[in-house]
């Protein structure tokens, strides 16, 4: 069985590190629903795909918003 270098789900700390943000901000993004999370048993995990989707949404928003002069 081939293994993928990217885990399917990440801890809060791993997800924060991937985005280059702190744990506190990551928890805030999850709590607000901006980044989706799942519960596996008692563990909170972030699907890796959700980080990509979050960054894609940020990119789309930055294109839509006019540049401040």
Q: Has residue 28 been placed in a domain?
A: yes
Virtual torsion, Cα 22, 10, 47, 32, nearest 10 deg: -30
Closest C-alpha among 40, 41, 37 to residue 14 = 37
DSSP symbols for 4-39: -SS-SEE-HHHHHHHHT--HHHHHHHHHHTSS--EE
pLDDT digits (tens, 9 = 90+) for 34-48: 999 999 999 999 999
pLDDT digits (tens, 9 = 90+) for 16-29: 999 999 999 999 99
Q: Is 17 inside a domain boundary?
A: yes
* Residue 49 within any structural domain of the chain: yes
> Is 1 a member of any domain?
no
Q: Does 69 fall in a domain? A: no
With a threshold of 0.85, does the pTM exceed it? no
Q: Is there a contact between 59 and 19 (Cβ–Cβ < 8 Å)? A: no
């Amino acid at each position: 069985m081939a293994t993928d270098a990217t885990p399917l789900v990440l801890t809060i700390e791993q997800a924060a590190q991937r985005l280059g943000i702190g744990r506190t901000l990551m928890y805030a993004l999850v709590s607000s629903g901006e980044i989706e999370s799942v519960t596996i048993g008692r563990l909170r995990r972030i699907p890796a795909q959700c980080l990509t989707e979050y960054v894609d949404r940020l990119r789309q928003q930055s294109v839509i918003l006019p540049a401040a002069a």
